[in-house]
């Protein structure tokens, strides 16, 4: 295995390590958002506002299902990072093998379940009739591609657990280019409609996952379980479930609030749905740095906890937050001034009223990006410390806040009420996360000391 491919984050400047690890991840997330945006741009420009609203209306349910799968895969990688930090190669391989069993089970169950319930879920969400068929045609194919999504999410998370955040980005970049080419081919040349956008996404995701698989086989033998490692080990499987399922539920519980919110927005009509969809597309792109910082903190904290370097955990968290705070100020200024113009990327030139609403949505969201920095950095730090179940409560806080906005504010303030949902969710989540981190940190400091080597137990959860 190439030593340059592996990166320990247990020594050196935390700020430099976090920036160096986050930068490639940020590039990958930007690429992922770009090809997601290209999907929407092509759909909006060539298939019309109803098709765009239909695809956009699936965002919350897509996040709830795919987000759960991604969360579980990222959770599986945390014990791997801890074992790597502790230099326990046998334990690392056993976690990888049992993580594969968990991922396979997840892929089968979720694909069957959500494909069967797909249309009924959209009806429960009160998706407007004029966009219902578009929504179903798109999201059903995306759900059929869940195994491809899990393949990439798991393998890329395992690669990152060993400190290599660059290689998954290379494969994601190639997938992004492939996705754009297939979008143009399927939608414009073959006239396939929203189904073409979905098929292009699934094919691209599968290719990036297969590329990760080949790369691990050739360059990362440490991540390739031996024959004896493939034995099902209840203790390892339990620990993986304890890490992965709460992390997945965190995404899904957060998304349940988004689904309820989307249901309330659907009641405002397809124009409001299009405005929120355009605003979310732009905001998701702008939030890539926060997502990259969060994922970086999980790996950084996991490795340092495995090495017993507790003080570096807090130092790293402060560095990550400082980086996020600086970016959030810049993002708030840019989106506050130009949000409406960026939303026009997804709309016809004449849809100025929808663009104005999208601009209002972006002004509200970007004004509270400082709080989003804390949500991502602190939550993933808590997860990296092994307290996935505790971090789950932050997702519950977000769900409660978005549900309250949907039920109480949107009926009173209409579209402006919908704009308040993200800020309310971040405020409530931070009110829980920040105190929770200091409680956990002080507990670990007493148990292991700030400087001494920690003798980690197999199960960090309490």
- Report pLDDT digits (tens) over 341-381: 888 877 766 778 898 999 999 999 999 999 999 999 999 99
Mean per-residue pLDDT of the chain: 86
Percent of the chain that is helix, strand, coil (3-state, to 5):
85, 0, 15
Closest by CA position to 124, among listed 268, 277, 260, 257: 260
Using 50, 70 and 90 to split pLDDT, how confident is the model at 182?
Answer: very high
Residue 166, pLDDT above cutoff 50:
yes
> Is residue 189 classed exposed, middle or buried when 0-12, 13-18 and 19+ CB atoms within 10 A define those classes?
exposed
Q: How far is 345 from 338, CA to CA, in rounded Å?
A: 12
73-98 pLDDT per residue, tens: 988 988 898 888 888 889 899 999 99
- Tell me which residue of 256, 267, 255, 277 sits closest to 54, measured CA to CA: 277
The confidence score (pLDDT) of residue 455 equals 43
pLDDT tens digits for range 126-137: 888 888 999 999
pLDDT value of residue 50: 83
Domain hosting 228: range is: 7-448
Residue 251 has a CB neighbour count (10 Å cut-off) of: 22
Could you read off the pLDDT of 377-405 as tens digits, one per residue? Answer: 999 999 888 887 777 788 889 889 999 99
Distance CA 426, CA 370 (A): 9
Q: State the pLDDT at residue 191.
A: 85
Q: What per-residue string of b and e applies to 195-204 under the rule 16 or more CB within 10 Å gives b?
A: bbbbbbbbbb
Is 342 inside a domain boundary? yes
How many percent of the chain have pLDDT more than 70?
Answer: 94
Angle (CA) 163 110 191, round 5°: 90
| CA-to-CA separations, 400 to 233, 261, 425, in angstroms, rounded | 37, 11, 8
1 has a pLDDT exceeding 50: no
Task: State residue 108's pLDDT score.
Answer: 95
Q: Are 275 and 115 a contacting pair, CB within 8 Å?
A: no
| Overall domain count for the chain | 1
For residue 260, give every residue at least 6 positions away whose Cβ sits within 8 Å of its Cβ, in sequence order, or none: 399, 402, 403, 406, 407
On the CB side of 111, how many CA atoms lie within 13 Å of its CA? 15
In a domain, 345, yes or no: yes
pLDDT per residue as tens digits for the range 136-152: 999 999 999 999 999 99
On whether residue 462 sits in a domain, the answer given is: no
Give dist(CA 185, CA 187) in Å, integer.
6
User: What token pair was written down for 324?
Assistant: 């996020």
453 domain residue, yes or no: no
Query: What is the Cα–Cα distance from 175 to 168, expressed in whole angstroms?
Result: 10
What pLDDT score was predicted for residue 3? 47
Q: 197 with 39: CB under 8 angstroms?
A: yes
Q: Which two tokens stand for residue 201?
A: 């996404």
Asked, for residue 458, whether it belongs to a domain, the answer is no
455 in any annotated domain: no
∠ CA 157-285-30, nearest 5°, is 50
197 vs 217: CA distance, rounded Å: 31
CA-to-CA dists, residue 450 to 77, 339, 442, 444, angstroms: 24, 45, 10, 8
Section 169-192 average pLDDT? 87
SS (H, E, C) 245-298: HHHHHHHHHHHHHHHHHHHHHHCCCHHHHHHHHHHHHHHHHHCHHHHHHHHHHH
Q: Are 222 and 31 in contact (CB under 8 A)?
A: no
Q: Is position 189 within any domain? A: yes
Cα distances from 341 to residues 288, 348, 359, 407, in angstroms, run: 20, 12, 8, 30
Domain assignment present for residue 275? The answer is yes
- Using 50, 70 and 90 to split pLDDT, how confident is the model at 214? very high
Q: How far is it, in rounded angstroms, from Cα 292 to Cα 297?
A: 9
Give me the residue label for tokens 């995701």: 205
Asked if residue 165 has pLDDT above 60, the reply is yes
pTM of structure? 0.72
Q: If you search the block for the tokens 């009110």, which residue do you land on?
A: 431
- Residue 449, pLDDT > 70, answer no
């Amino acid at each position: 295995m190439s030593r340059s491919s592996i990166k320990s984050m247990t020594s050196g400047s935390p700020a430099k390590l976090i920036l160096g690890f986050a930068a490639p991840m940020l590039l990958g997330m930007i690429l992922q958002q770009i090809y997601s945006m290209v999907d929407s741009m092509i759909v909006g420009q060539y298939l019309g506002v109803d098709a765009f609203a239909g695809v956009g209306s699936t965002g919350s349910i897509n996040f709830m299902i795919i987000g759960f799968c991604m969360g579980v895969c990222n959770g599986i990688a945390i014990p791997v990072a801890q074992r790597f930090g502790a230099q326990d190669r046998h334990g690392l391989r056993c976690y990888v093998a049992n993580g594969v069993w968990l991922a396979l089970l997840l892929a089968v169950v979720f694909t069957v379940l959500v494909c069967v319930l797909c249309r009924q879920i959209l009806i429960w969400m009160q998706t407007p009739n004029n966009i219902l068929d578009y929504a179903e045609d798109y999201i059903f194919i995306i759900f059929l591609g869940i195994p491809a999504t899990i393949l990439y999410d798991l393998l890329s998370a395992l690669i990152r657990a060993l400190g290599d955040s660059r290689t998954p980005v290379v494969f994601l970049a190639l997938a992004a280019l492939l996705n754009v080419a297939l979008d143009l081919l399927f939608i414009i040349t073959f006239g396939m409609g929203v189904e073409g956008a979905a098929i292009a996404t699934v094919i691209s995701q599968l290719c990036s996952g297969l590329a990760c698989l080949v790369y691990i086989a050739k360059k990362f033998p440490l991540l390739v379980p031996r024959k004896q490692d493939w034995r099902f080990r209840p203790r390892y499987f339990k620990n993986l479930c304890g890490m992965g399922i709460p992390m997945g539920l965190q995404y899904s519980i957060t998304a349940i609030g988004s689904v309820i919110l989307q249901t309330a927005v659907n009641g405002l009509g397809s124009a409001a749905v299009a405005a929120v969809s355009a605003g979310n597309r732009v905001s998701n792109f702008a939030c890539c740095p926060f997502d990259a910082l969060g994922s970086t903190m999980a790996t950084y904290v996991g490795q340092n906890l495995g090495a017993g370097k507790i003080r570096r955990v807090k130092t790293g968290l402060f560095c990550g937050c400082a980086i996020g705070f600086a970016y959030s100020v810049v993002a708030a200024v840019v989106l506050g001034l130009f949000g409406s113009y960026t939303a026009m990327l997804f709309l016809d030139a004449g849809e100025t009223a929808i663009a104005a609403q999208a601009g209002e949505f972006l002004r509200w969201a970007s004004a509270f990006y400082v709080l989003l920095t804390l949500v991502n950095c602190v939550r993933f730090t808590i997860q990296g410390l092994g307290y996935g179940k505790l971090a789950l409560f932050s997702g519950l806080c977000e769900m409660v806040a978005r549900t309250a906005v949907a039920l109480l504010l949107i009926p009173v303030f209409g579209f402006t009420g919908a704009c308040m949902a993200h800020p309310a969710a971040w405020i409530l989540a931070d009110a829980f996360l920040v105190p929770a981190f200091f409680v956990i940190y002080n507990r670990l400091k007493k148990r292991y000391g700030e400087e001494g080597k920690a003798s980690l137990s197999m199960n960090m959860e309490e």
